[in-house]
């Protein structure tokens, strides 16, 4: 193998690990700064939300998906387009509620947790909670109020990682202040 192609491969590998490693450094720092896991979870969710409300623009610009007509379409777009584009994985969609307002995303591999082990004193930490915030923030910008939460986590010994998504309501555009 020529030196040239070796370097190309290494660059690619480093690039894909950069986000994962940076995320790990962030979680480590938050665990130092906050007293308990609950606060870290909230902070990750909030940061994710802030990222999500901006990420959606990048997503819409690059993916050319049109408006979703229902929650099922939304689920498909999230799993097959968004996750693929940003994390290189395609979670499967399962466990639809009878009313069609809840579903699960099953991640066989969670790229965020490569090289990660939870130490014993952080059993309540939801390591990948940033993802829930991102989903919530991004969907809010397309007029959907949702709840996203982890119900299974390979870091905690489960066989898969599962994010439960619940549709709360459609967000109507807010009236400008002063008009009723």
Partner 1 sequence: MADAVLFEFLHTEMVAELWARRPDPSPGGQKTSLSVLEGMGFRVGQALGERLPQDTLAFREELDALKFLCKDVWVAVFQKQMDGLRTNHQGTYVLQDNDFPLLVRMASGLQYLEEAPKFLAFTCGLLRGTLNTLGIKSLVTASVAALPACKFQVVIQRA
d(CA 169, CA 80): 23
For position 127 contacting partner 1 by CB under 8 A, the verdict is no
The residue behind tokens 């898969």 is: 160
What residues between 2 and 61 interact with partner 1 by CB under 8 A?
Answer: 6-7, 10-23, 25-26, 28-29, 33, 43, 47, 50-51, 54-55, 58
Structure tokens at 78: 């999230």
Cα separation, 62 vs 57, whole angstroms: 9
Closest CA to 149 of 87, 103, 118, 115: 103
> What are 94's strand-pairing partners?
104
Q: How far is the CB of 159 from partner 1 (least distance, A)?
A: 23
Q: Which C-beta is closer to partner 1: that of 86 or that of 96?
A: 86
Q: Which of 73, 98, 92 is nearest to 162 (CA)?
A: 92
Nearest residue (CB) to partner 1, 22 versus 97: 22
Residue 22 C-beta: closest distance to partner 1, Å: 5
**CB neighbours (10 Å) of residue 24?**
17
Q: What are the structure tokens assigned to 165, written together?
A: 């998504």
Whether the CB-CB separation of 132 and 163 falls below 8 Å is answered with yes
Which of 31, 60, 81, 86 is close enough to bind partner 1 by CB under 8 A? 86
CB of 90 to partner 1, least distance (A): 13
- Name the residue nearer to partner 1 (CB basis): 17 or 102: 17
Q: Give 71 or 107: the residue with its C-beta nearer to partner 1.
A: 107
State which residue, 33 or 70, has the beta carbon closest to partner 1.
33
**How far apart, in whole angstroms, are the C-alpha atoms of residue 37 and residue 90?**
29
Cβ neighbours of residue 51 closer than 8 Å, sequence gap 6 or more = 130, 133, 134, 137
Judged by CB under 8 A, the stretch of 85-93, 117-125, 141-149, 157-165 that binds partner 1 is 85-93
Of the pair 109, 152, the CB lying nearest partner 1 is at: 109
Q: Which residues in this chain contact partner 1 in the complex, by CB under 8 A?
A: 6-7, 10-23, 25-26, 28-29, 33, 43, 47, 50-51, 54-55, 58, 85-88, 111, 115, 130
């Amino acid at each position: 193998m020529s030196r040239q192609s070796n370097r190309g491969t290494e660059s690619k590998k480093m690039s894909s690990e950069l986000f994962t490693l940076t995320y790990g450094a962030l979680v480590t720092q938050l665990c130092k700064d906050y007293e308990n896991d609950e606060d870290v979870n909230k902070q990750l969710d909030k940061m994710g939300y802030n990222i999500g409300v901006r990420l959606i623009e990048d997503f819409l610009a690059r993916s050319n998906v049109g408006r979703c007509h229902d929650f099922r379409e939304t689920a498909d777009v999230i799993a097959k387009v968004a996750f693929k584009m940003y994390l290189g994985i395609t979670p499967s969609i399962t466990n639809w509620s009878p009313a069609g307002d809840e579903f699960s995303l099953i991640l066989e591999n969670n790229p965020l947790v490569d090289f990660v082990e939870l130490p014993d004193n952080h059993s309540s930490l939801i390591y990948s909670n940033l993802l829930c915030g991102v989903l919530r923030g991004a969907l809010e910008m397309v007029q959907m109020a949702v709840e996203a939460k982890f119900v299974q986590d390979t870091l905690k010994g489960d066989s898969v990682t599962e994010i439960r998504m619940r549709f709360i309501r459609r967000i109507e555009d807010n009236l400008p202040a002063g008009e009723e």
